[in-house]
Amino acid sequence: MIYKFYQQHIFPHLLNQVMQVPSLMDKRRELLLPIQGEVLEIGFGTGLNLAFYQAVDTVYALEPNIEIYQLAAQRIHETPFEVQHIQASAEKLPFADRSLDHIVCTWTLCSIADVELALDEVYRVLKVGGTFHVVEHVLHNENHNIQRLQNLFTPLQKRVADGCHLNRNIEQALKNADLEITELQYFDAEGIPSIGRRMLLARAVKS
């Protein structure tokens, strides 16, 4: 009961705060500025990406957790383009095959229970030539001490942070899904503890 209270009433507010660290907001801007037209956001969260879309006319805001989505209300209200909530999971996207030009995922592939299935779904619903735009915290491939800590603390992290894995190799997962990586940038985000600081910004195309 206490855990359920934490998940419903405390975690969404913590998430909303943590995800506004300035170094993460800078990367949102870099990732989202080039996107035009319609975009599907998987794991929309509290709407922190909305301010960075400059040429978008519709955002399909796929977010399964209603307590989290509710915290986006004010941001949606202030947004000049259409935002449509879709309460569904990444593992079963309610979109037709080859129907979307752009899909965005920011710090969400870590939390999806079946990330391989979700990426198969991304591949299915992207048009040929469509782009998947991603920024995520990832397994630290170069630092084995951090990697060990990431593996050690992932079970705890999953409990306190709604299923979040510290140790996912997202580059490999994109490749496994047959997406062609066109941009790949690893960086360490300022203001984030070392165990979750390693990040990947990537774009991948369905060719």
Residues that bind ligand SAM (CB under 6 A): 15, 19, 42-43, 45, 48, 62-65, 68, 89-91, 106-108, 111-113, 163
Say if residues 104 and 201 touch (Cβ distance below 8 Å).
no
Task: Provide, rounded to whole angstroms, the least separation between the CB of residue 185 and ligand SAM.
Answer: 17
- Measured from the CB atom, is 26 or 180 closer to ligand SAM? 26
Question: How far does Cα 179 stand from its chain's mean position?
Answer: 17
What are all long-range contacts of 153-156, with beta carbons under 8 Å and residues at least 24 apart? Answer: 153/195
- Measured from the CB atom, is 51 or 205 closer to ligand SAM? 51
Cα distances (angstroms) measured from residue 74 to each of 62, 70, 71, 148: 17, 9, 7, 40
- Measured from the CB atom, is 112 or 125 closer to ligand SAM? 112
User: If you search the block for the tokens 């951090």, which residue do you land on?
Assistant: 146
User: What tokens were used for 19?
Assistant: 């995800």
Task: Provide, rounded to whole angstroms, the least separation between the CB of residue 69 and ligand SAM.
Answer: 8
Task: Provide, rounded to whole angstroms, the least separation between the CB of residue 144 and ligand SAM.
Answer: 25
Could you tell me which residues are beta bridge partners of residue 107? none
- Measured from the CB atom, is 129 or 150 closer to ligand SAM? 150
Task: Provide, rounded to whole angstroms, the least separation between the CB of residue 109 and ligand SAM.
Answer: 9
User: If you search the block for the tokens 């998987």, which residue do you land on?
Assistant: 42
Task: Provide, rounded to whole angstroms, the least separation between the CB of residue 153 and ligand SAM.
Answer: 16
- Measured from the CB atom, is 111 or 146 closer to ligand SAM? 111
Which runs of consecutive H residues, i.e. helices, occur in 37-191?
Answer: 66-70, 73-77, 115-125, 144-160, 170-176
Query: What is the phi/psi pair of residue 2, to 5°?
Result: -65, -40
Residue type, 174: L
- Measured from the CB atom, is 68 or 122 closer to ligand SAM? 68
Number of residue whose CB is nearest ligand SAM: 45
User: What tokens were used for 99?
Assistant: 């129907």
Task: Provide, rounded to whole angstroms, the least separation between the CB of residue 88 and ligand SAM.
Answer: 7
